[in-house]
Structure 1
């Protein structure tokens, strides 16, 4: 690998420090969670984040010679041997917080990619962001299936007022 721009190294150093805490938190959540579906998502997120750690370490290592590629989420299987069980109250807050963490990680990876100078490092971080987005969607599906989400909607009148305002603003 060729030498990295300082900003890329700095951003990945920051990410690696954050990943240590996130991985420990996910392991704690896995131990507390009851729902087998939630445990599978937590395990998937943990496996994906550990794969991200290995990729960043390879990108940082100046002596690493092989091409660095982010494994697909299909190659970071969650443990299918999790015993089937139902959700509890703890599962709600675990899923809600883990969802927020996945969203934050996706955002951090994407924003960092925008600042990175090395094209390969940038592309990998965009892929990492997309993987975290997929995990975020898994949590959303779980929360929705459990009836633990609420999405407020606007009225048609509010939407039309907004539409007319901007249509007039941009009307040429």
Structure 2
């Protein structure tokens, strides 16, 4: 590994036994328990992850159709397993040990991995670069693909010897 992009991420989800985590799991798994398909879940979840200001008549804008298709294709057992793994994720102590160049790329309207969290994460990684995409939410690579690619290309060029 010669470099690392951490986009719309966080070094931890918190205490896996915490009330927030239990509520998160219950909320995210409830539709599956009620017999909903992954497409139904994507219908509800994708718009909440995007930046505000979309057309309310078009819940899934064209820029997020691919995200919707991807989420709809996830097997329910994989979704369950990913959610259970997510609430146990804790890597804050590892941040200062990262020795490759890192770009921490946040999104202005990301409520899942807020810019302030991403900026603090970058400050704990030696030499990390922080950038924040204006006008994007948690699905920044779908919402602002040109800006996302520009930040990544700049980072990759800066890594060249």
Q: TM-score, normalised by structure 1?
A: 0.28
Higher helix proportion:
1
Give the structure, 1 or 2, with the largest relative contact order (CA under 8 Å, sep 6 or more). Answer: 2
Larger gyration radius, structure 1 or structure 2:
1
TM-score normalized by the length of structure 2: 0.29
Q: Which has the higher strand share?
A: 2
